[in-house]
Structure 1
Amino acid sequence: MSNANSTVHVIVKLDSKRPTNVLGFDQAKDRIRQQLQALARQKATTAFAAKLVKGATITQ
């Protein structure tokens, strides 16, 4: 039962505050590079395995 005119109230309790941690450009750049390299390796491995399976001949 959804009513377009209904109002939702939310109560939030703040337990504590802590400073945000924003990475510097060099740190972010290195982290992004590592993630992209890992993703590229994973894609290359998957593509290689698929190529091997596609070209494989199964004999009994």
Structure 2
Amino acid sequence: MKGRFAAYLAGALALGAFVAPIGAVMADEFTPAQKQELGAFIKDYLVNNPDVLKAA
């Protein structure tokens, strides 16, 4: 249980690291490069933490 919470927390913090700077810039949309990078990050996280999908 403790490990699962740590995984969720790590994912939330990592995602926040990407989202926070974007909000500061006030960008209307992601650039194609940003979309690709974000998609790769999310895919990697979900592949390495399949319990996130099971909990959804």
| TM over 0.5, shorter chain | no
Provide TM-score, normalisation by structure 2. Answer: 0.41
Provide TM-score, normalisation by structure 1. Answer: 0.38
Give 1 or 2: higher helix fraction: 2
Greater relative CO, 1 or 2 (CA 8 Å, sep 6+): 2
